[in-house]
Copies of this chain bind each other. A is one copy, B any other.
Amino acid sequence: MVSTILTAVPALGILALIFMAIRYNWVGKQDPGNPRMVRIGQNIADGAMAFLRAEYRVLAIFVVVVAALLMFTADAATSSYMIGISFILGAVCSALAGFIGMRVATKANVRTTNAARESLGKALGVAFAGGSVMGLGVVGLGLLGLGSLFLLFQGMFVPDGTVAGSAEAQFAIVRVITVLTGFSFGASSIALFARVGGGIYTKAADVGADLVGKVEAGIPEDHPLNPATIADNVGDNVGDVAGMGADLFESYVGSIIGTMVIGAAFIVLPEFAQSEIGGLNAVLLPLVVAGIGIVASIIGTFFVRVGEGGDPQKALNTGELIAAAIMLVLTYFAVTLLLPAEWTVTTLTAEAPTTFTSLGVFIAIILGLVAGLGIGYITEYYTGTGTKPVQGIVDQSLTGSATNIIAGLAVGMRSTAYPIIVLSTAIIGAYYFAGLYGIAIAAVGMLSNTGIQLAVDAYGPISDNAGGIAEMAGLEPAVRERTDKLDAVGNTTAAIGKGFAIGSAALTALALFAAFMQTAGITSIDIANPYVMAGLFLGAMLPFLFSAFSMEAVGRAANDMIQEVRRQFREIPELKAALEVMRRNDTADQAVWTDVDKEVFFAADGKADYQRCVEISTQASIREMVMPGLIAVVTPVVIGFAGGAEMLGGLLAGVTSSGVMMAIFQSNAGGAWDNAKKMFEEGASVQGTIYHKGSDPHKAAVVGDTVGDPFKDTSGPSLNILLKLMSVVALVIAPLL
């Protein structure tokens, strides 16, 4: 039975990749539209690839250096030089998932625009197909990588004739999983750079495009005259597609490995050792649950359909709910089949040995799933258009940008309360029903449906891009209306997705934390120990420092972009002339322009040097991601070796607790400001008066939105990575401490 499972797991990964390939080809076969659309789409695709090439070139050096370090420092008895290979594979799989996701997203965007010329349903189909390529790619590569490496290492490190369930078997399996942690570390490294670098890229382009284009030169958003507009659209893909994908890839892999480490403790328990699976039950369960999630996600994607006039949100919800239902039913059978009905272990808090049941593990999985959805919906409440908190920000915009910003900061801070209560309840509940293993498997439960969850997430930026292309290509308003409808739903799914990403990062970090303790052989991390307390303080400080770094990086990078756009406006004669025409006519309504003006204006089309702006953003983001990256990787190593495993434990607890708060605070404040601004653009009512775009309260709200941009797209999401990466670094160095 073990070998069946062990081959089924990578097979399910391959299944996901097959479906991914089918969708990928289908997207590619769709009509990309007229030549102008094709050219714009190509510009975005080229920019995205230019970013990835530059990023991966830097990362390749990092990966090789770290892999070499891992190989040479690996303890031969408890680990192996193969951990370096794991690391490289983890990095390659994550990078590959990002590459495929970007590739398809930059194909799907223009094809979604073109499909929107026909119908809403067709546009949703293309956008969601693009998203599901990303989703299935992430889970497929994750499970294939983990599953096949587990098979390989089991063959290498478990000597022939080892008795299943024996102490020797346990020792060998722990070694297998230890080497496997390199895969998680590799994934985390790519995630760090994808999230931090991507976050800086997207906001530098966005802020640069807005400040010079919209504010200084007065040209509309997504207008081809703006040299930064392609970089801005590339940024959406870099940040929201590749960044989010790498983030969830890391959570997915990390939660599975964390659970495997903890599950290895059960191998020698009599209830496990004598089972059909010979002790490996709890080690294999997370892989099986993830495999079930793949099947559920694939089926779920078939239910995402909508007719003209239908609600895309409902279609996405249907797909997700069906996937969740399938996942739960199949998981129930898997848990009861795989695990013994009950077993007895000694836990930390209880004096007497505790009995756990397979049902308890199932409940922990449900708790994880429910907590993930719960945090997502709470996020939606605090950031959604028209909700009470966002209306509060709208109200406060009447007295200017200062009160708008105070209100947004307060909403962000206040929004930490319920997600933390949900998370704490899930932690205590999962522990109550299934011990530390319960906490880890809850994370797996939360992430098992990553396939469809990420499909829904990635659908957002594709729709957003589609709208931008419609604008740049000057298509009829009906097209933009349809893409706007998709995009509006995308904003909601993005908010939920962000909450989900934070929640899963927190649970994954806890799973890795528990795994770290088990591997380092420490049974308690005592806050009363001042080294632990100092570690806790230092850890709690890092998310603040990290956020400051990434916000300042955005500022510097945006400044580079601003200089470049100003330079082009000054030096490229066609752009200069076209801007002059716009300024002179004082209206965007070209119908009233003179023919000469129109001619001058259209002559500038495509004359901007988009490529140079893409390069600026790329270089800036790569330059700026180094420092935060070093902090994240080096700090746990320094604290671990200088202060010991317990102080490192304190550091991790500090990073995780304060990092989750800062991530929620910043993401939600940014999301709420964004939608407060959107509410004005659709006409927001305050004390009975309706305020529109261009009104003073709207201008105040624009300031809030600009402040929120780096919050929600750079510093906030980067913290997800910080806390997971530091935990995984701790786990990797744990055998050496």
A residues near B (Cβ < 8 Å) are 211, 215, 348-349, 396, 399-403, 405-407, 409-414, 416-417, 420-421, 423-425, 427-428, 430-431, 436, 439, 510, 514, 517, 523-534, 536-541, 544-545, 547-549, 551-552, 554-555, 562, 649-650, 653-654, 657-658, 660-661, 665, 702-703, 706-707, 710
Contact = CB atoms under 8 A, between A and B. Distances in A.
Given A551-B406, A555-B407, A424 B527 contact: no
15 contacts: A211-B399, A348-B529, A349-B530, A401-B402, A403-B555, A410-B548, A411-B548, A413-B551, A417-B544, A427-B537, A436-B528, A527-B649, A540-B661, A654-B657, A657-B658
A402 B540 contact: no
Contacts of A423: 537
B710 A406 contact: yes
Question: Of residues A399, A406, A650, which shows the largest number of chain B Cβ atoms within 10 Å of its Cβ?
Answer: A406
Contacts of A703: 400-402, 405, 703
A661 B544 contact: yes
B510 A424 contact: no
Contact of A552 (B401, B410, B562): B410
A707 to B, nearest CB: 5
A427 B528 CA distance: 12
B653 A533 contact: yes
A413 B545 contact: yes
Contacts of A396: 555
A170 to B, nearest CB: 21
B421 A555 contact: no
Contact of A410 (B417, B427, B525, B555): B555
B414 A545 contact: yes
A273 to B, nearest CB: 25
Contacts of A548: 409-414
Nearest to A428: B534
Nearest to A524: B526
B555 A405 contact: no
Contacts of A530: 349, 427-428, 430-431, 436, 439
A544 B414 contact: yes
Contact of A427 (B425, B533, B547, B654): B533
A514 B529 CA distance: 10
Nearest to A414: B548
Contacts of A401: 401-402, 703
Given A413-B551, A423-B537, 8 more contacts: A348-B529, A410-B548, A414-B545, A414-B552, A536-B657, A537-B660, A657-B658, A658-B658
Nearest to A417: B545
B402 A544 contact: no
A3 to B, nearest CB: 35
Nearest to A211: B399
Contacts of A410: 547-548, 551-552, 555
A427 to B, nearest CB: 5
A591 B649 CA distance: 70
Q: Sort A-B residue pairs by CB-CB distance and give the 5 closest, nearest first.
A: A402-B706, A414-B548, A424-B534, A431-B530, A413-B548
B416 A541 contact: yes
Contacts of A526: 348, 524-527
B657 A416 contact: no
Given A525-B528, A528-B523, A653-B527, A537 B707 contact: no
B525 A527 contact: yes
Nearest to A435: B530
Contacts of A658: 540, 657-658, 661
B525 A657 contact: no
A662 B694 CA distance: 35
B538 A405 contact: no
Nearest to A704: B402
Contacts of A409: 548, 551, 707
Given A525-B526, A528-B514, A665-B544, A707 B402 contact: yes
Question: Of residues A411, A420, A551, which shows the largest number of chain B Cβ atoms within 10 Å of its Cβ?
Answer: A420
A402 B401 CA distance: 9
A5 to B, nearest CB: 29
Contact of A653 (B407, B536, B660): B536
A462 to B, nearest CB: 28
A421 B448 CA distance: 39
B538 A420 contact: yes
A156 B619 CA distance: 74
A497 B597 CA distance: 63
Contact of A528 (B348, B425, B539): B348
B406 A537 contact: no
A692 to B, nearest CB: 21
A720 B405 CA distance: 24
B427 A707 contact: no
A707 B514 contact: no
B545 A406 contact: no
Contacts of A412: 548
A703 B400 CA distance: 9
Contacts of A414: 544-545, 548-549, 552
Contacts of A540: 420, 540, 657-658, 660-661
Contacts of A702: 402
